[in-house]
């Protein structure tokens, strides 16, 4: 650990910049997938994207890399901030008016809020996927073949519940077979499909609807996203500056692009949260 702490400051900053740019690309991808929830298709597009992201082996490897990047980004950011505080334990009598310094000064605080946002997001979604936290689940009709048929036929109540889960009423044609049974609780999942049944996935669509219709959660989510936007406004040009892409002709365009990027990210996630609240 001591060797890691003694890493050259420049190397730390370059590493932090590269990790940050990687995370910025991920935010665009994640926000784009989330926007699929606003389609009036009952979550079909979003579920297809979530299914791909949750079952593709390349994406699974990417998740491990992404988690490692998050951890490294946070650790290096904390180490750099501690080094800055130690290097300047007593505040200057004359405040530094540099915009970069002003932005840097608040990065640790917006970073803490972003970390809280990340923890909140992981508890409500990613930990459900890992089975650490209970949520809502969905089962595709084709996967009912994996149910213990003998025990199912012996329990008519279970069979009736199963049929109900995969049946929906159409105002014109009457009862229709659903390809996906969604919004299933853990208790119902175990009761109807059996304790040994594993062919189910988290129902992120209905979990998002429920969370975004909780006023307290919605407000906290929007505020934390605003903190993320503020963090990104400084992080974007700072990353390019650290990598040597700076100068009179570059600084203003990079800052403008960074501000536009931050606004787009915030609006993408806000649109989903507010949209799900209004639509449902």
Structure tokens at 181: 């049974």
32-51: string of b/e by CB count within 10 Å (b at 16+)? ebbbbbbeeeebebbbebbe
4/7 Cα distance (integer angstroms): 5
Instruction: Give residue 268's pLDDT.
Output: 96
For the ranges 63-67, 92-96, 101-105, 152-156, the one whose mean pLDDT is highest: 152-156
Residue 102 banded pLDDT, cuts 50, 70, 90: very low
Enumerate the domain spans of the chain: 2-89+100-136+205-279, 141-202
pTM of the model: 0.79
The mean per-residue pLDDT over the stretch 149-157 comes to: 89
Residue 98 banded pLDDT, cuts 50, 70, 90: very low
CA distances 278 to 115, 212, 242, Å, are 27, 9, 42
Instruction: Give residue 254's pLDDT.
Output: 86
**Domain at 2-89+100-136+205-279: CATH architecture:** Up-down Bundle (1.20)
Structure tokens at 100: 């970069």
In tens, the pLDDT along 188-240 reads 999 999 888 999 999 999 999 999 999 999 999 999 999 999 989 988 888 87
Count Cβ atoms below 10 Å from residue 259 Cβ, excluding itself.
16
Q: Are 254 and 242 in contact (CB under 8 A)?
A: no
| Cβ partners under 8 Å of residue 238, min gap 6 | 17, 100, 103, 104, 107
Q: Residue 9 pLDDT > 80, yes or no?
A: no
Is residue 120 within a helix (H) or strand (E), and if so which, with residue range?
A: helix 99-121
pLDDT above 70 as % of the chain: 87
Instruction: Give residue 139's pLDDT.
Output: 95
């Amino acid at each position: 650990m001591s060797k890691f702490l003694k890493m050259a400051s420049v190397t730390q900053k370059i590493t932090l910049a590269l990790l940050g740019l990687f995370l910025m690309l991920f935010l665009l991808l994640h926000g784009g997938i989330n926007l699929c929830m606003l389609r009036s298709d009952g979550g079909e597009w979003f579920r297809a994207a979530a299914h791909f992201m949750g079952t593709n082996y390349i994406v699974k490897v990417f998740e491990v890399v992404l988690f490692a990047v998050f951890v490294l980004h946070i650790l290096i950011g904390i180490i750099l901030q501690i080094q800055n505080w130690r290097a300047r334990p007593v505040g200057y009598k004359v405040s530094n008016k540099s915009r970069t310094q002003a932005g840097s000064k608040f990065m640790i605080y917006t970073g803490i809020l972003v970390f809280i946002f990340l923890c909140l997001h992981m508890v409500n979604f990613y930990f459900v996927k890992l089975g650490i936290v209970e949520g809502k689940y969905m089962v595709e009709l084709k996967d009912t073949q994996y149910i213990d048929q003998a025990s199912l036929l012996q329990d008519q109540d279970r069979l009736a519940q199963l049929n109900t889960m995969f049946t929906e009423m159409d105002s014109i044609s009457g009862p229709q077979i659903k390809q996906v049974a969604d919004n299933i609780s853990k208790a119902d999942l175990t009761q109807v499909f059996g304790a040994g049944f594993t062919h189910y996935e988290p129902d992120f669509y209905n979990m998002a609807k429920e969370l975004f219709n909780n006023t307290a959660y919605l407000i906290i989510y929007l505020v934390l996203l605003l903190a993320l936007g503020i963090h990104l406004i400084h992080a974007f040009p700072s990353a390019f500056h650290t990598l040597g892409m700076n100068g009179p002709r570059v600084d203003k365009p990079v800052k403008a692009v960074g501000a536009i990027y931050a606004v787009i990210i915030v609006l993408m996630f806000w649109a989903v949260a507010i949209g799900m609240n209004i639509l449902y």
